[in-house]
Amino acid sequence: METSRTQRAYRFRFYPTPGQENLLRRTLGCVRLVYNKALALRSETWTREQRNVSYRDTSKALTGWKKSEGLAFLNDVSCVPLQQALRHLQTAYSSFFNHTGDFPAFKRKAHGGSATFTRYAFTWDGCKRHLKLAKMKEPLRVIWSRTLPVKAVPSSVTISLDAAGRWHVSILVEEHVKPIPRTDTRIGVDMGVDFLAALSDGEKIPNPRFRKRNAKRLGKAQRNLARKQKGSRNYEKARLKVARIQAQGADRRKDFLHKLSTRIIRENQTVVLEDLAVRNMCRKAAPKEDRAHPGRYLPNGRAAKRGLNRSITDAGWRMFRTMLEYKAAWYGRQLIVIDRWYPSSQICSHCGKNNGKKPLNVRAWTCPYCHTTHDRDVNAAKNILAAGLAVNVCGDGRKHHNN
């Protein structure tokens, strides 16, 4: 079985010394400043002159910023992360114009930050597993919780600080991934809220609801934060406590989705998903206007939608799909995504008749044509699998679904 070469990132926790932390925090601050100034320059130039500012223009502007008196401190940190920040901004603009991402936003200090060091800005000793960044005298104290590939040579290193005050290093290496043995098993997956996923073989994956588990602790911490004065030390302590509770839930969610996606990819040769518009489903619902009193809006216009938003984001549908996509590419599996408008919950998986829309509170129903009783989610997963296999044969899923 032939192996494929791919770039893979390994993420580790590390604990810097006070001197290293001081340098890293200054580096993150300079990276954030350069990114925001370049974004402001490009936006203002387009607004005033209707002229595009390229990556080369921002690189020349960075040279001028370093020579100015007020920004001379940019020379105290490595120049590589600053240049990489401009490259990341260019990538963000390209994604926006290609309709694959949002318009670049300004970076905030409260969100932490990251800095990328290319090969000439760090020193790597694979035998001793020592990683030393530019302008540092000692290697970082990294907790090697995973094993790196043998003779791995990192192409880039990204240092990040999250909102909870934790330091992480992401090491990008080129790895030979060996596909796992083929299997004849195929599965359809229907994503939900009550159950995270229903599989076409009848299995239903419970929704862990990690946000609900920490709801009381998080609410208490947020109320405590609201009573603090912004800018004070007590405010920063309370903010860190809120961020750590949120980070704990995010880590648990990611760990659960990694294990679930790996199991599904390993056990099935073909996986079929529905193309859900998660972003549209999570948008805030506009309040409904009261027809009896023009200009007034009904009080419950946002409440129901907000509750659904929290359930969807807590489930992590988009993250789960992303994991399935790159793991299927790694291990030689097939992932099929069918059209979002396919009526998977309306069709009887036994006879193929469309029985029309059903309210969300109807979790089981009986087909009036063949008198087969269905579980709503499992039936939808079976229809998704059948549609995905048809897409694989026809080669045009959207056209097949609309017809």
Nearest residue to 259 (alpha-carbon basis) of 320, 318, 179: 320
Give kind and range of the element (H or E) at residue 374.
strand 373-375
Report whether 179 contacts 332 (CB < 8 A). Answer: yes
Which residues are paired to 10 by β-bridges?
171
User: Given this model, what pLDDT does residue 403 score?
Assistant: 32
Residue 12, both tokens: 């580790």
pLDDT digits (tens, 9 = 90+) for 309-362: 777 788 888 899 999 999 999 999 999 999 888 899 899 999 999 988 888 888
Q: CA angle 22-28-32, nearest 5°? A: 145
> Active site includes 203?
no
User: Given this model, what pLDDT does residue 1 score?
Assistant: 57
CA distance 211 to 250: 8
User: Given this model, what pLDDT does residue 77 score?
Assistant: 96
Residue 25: Cβ within 10 Å count: 14
Helices 215-226/233-267 angle, 10° precision: 150
pLDDT at 274 over 60: yes
pLDDT digits (tens, 9 = 90+) for 147-166: 888 888 899 999 999 999 99
User: Given this model, what pLDDT does residue 302 score?
Assistant: 44
User: Given this model, what pLDDT does residue 308 score?
Assistant: 62
Residue 276, both tokens: 């859900």
Averaged pLDDT score across all residues of the chain: 88
CB-side neighbour CA atoms (13 Å) of 308: 15
Give the strands of the sheet with 204-206, arranged side by side.
Answer: 204-206, 195-199, 186-191, 270-274, 334-338
- For the chain, the residue count is 403
User: Given this model, what pLDDT does residue 51 score?
Assistant: 92
Q: Which residue among 175, 255, 377, 396 is the active-site one?
A: 377
**pLDDT interval class at 399 (50, 70, 90):** very low
Residue 187 sits at φ, ψ, to 5 deg, of: -140, 145
Residue 217: Cβ within 10 Å count: 14
Instruction: Please give the single-letter amino acid code of residue 364.
Output: A
Residue 97: Cβ within 10 Å count: 10
> Active site includes 377?
yes
User: Given this model, what pLDDT does residue 355 score?
Assistant: 86
User: Given this model, what pLDDT does residue 280 score?
Assistant: 66
What mean pLDDT comes out for the span 236-241?
A: 95
User: Given this model, what pLDDT does residue 76 score?
Assistant: 95
Q: Evaluate the CA torsion angle 347, 348, 353, 358 in order and state its sign.
A: negative
Please give the full DSSP string across 128-143, using - where no structure is assigned.
TTEEEETT-SS---EE
* 115 three-class SS: strand
Residue 29, both tokens: 């601050």
Q: Which residue among 274, 275, 375, 396 is the active-site one?
A: 274
Q: Which residue among 49, 162, 190, 275 is the active-site one?
A: 190
pLDDT at 400 over 50: no
What mean pLDDT comes out for the span 188-210?
A: 92
User: Given this model, what pLDDT does residue 5 score?
Assistant: 81
Residue with tokens 């087909």: 367
> Active site includes 375?
no
Q: Evaluate the CA torsion angle 372, 376, 378, 382 in order and state its sign.
A: positive
Report whether 334 contacts 270 (CB < 8 A). Answer: yes
Helices 233-267/317-331 angle, 10° precision: 50
pLDDT at 368 over 80: yes
pLDDT digits (tens, 9 = 90+) for 77-101: 999 999 999 999 999 999 999 988 8
Residue with tokens 């600080």: 161
pLDDT digits (tens, 9 = 90+) for 99-140: 888 899 999 988 889 999 999 999 999 888 899 999 999 999
